[in-house]
A = this chain, B = another copy of it.
Amino acid sequence: MCEANAYLLKEDGVEELVFENVDRVLPREDGILMEDIFGKKKILRARIKEMALVDHKIFLEAI
């Protein structure tokens, strides 16, 4: 399976794991909606900074 883990990049450079097993990612005006492979959803006030699909990583930054 090709789900990914989502990390929020903090100002101090730390990558905080905020959501695992992400299947769907939908950017919105006010943030980002993610849905994991089990159908659980999470909305964060963040935007995509980078996605590294082969590494299964989504990097987000707060907005």
A residues at B contact (CB < 8 Å)? 1-4, 22-27, 37, 47-54, 56
Contacts and interface: CB of A to CB of B under 8 A. Distances in A.
A25 B4 contact: no
Contact of A51 (B51, B52, B54, B56): B51
Given A2-B2, A54-B37, A56-B2, A48 B23 contact: no
A54 B56 CA distance: 11
A49 B27 CA distance: 6
A9 to B, nearest CB: 13
Given A2-B56, A56-B2, A50 B23 contact: no
A40 to B, nearest CB: 14
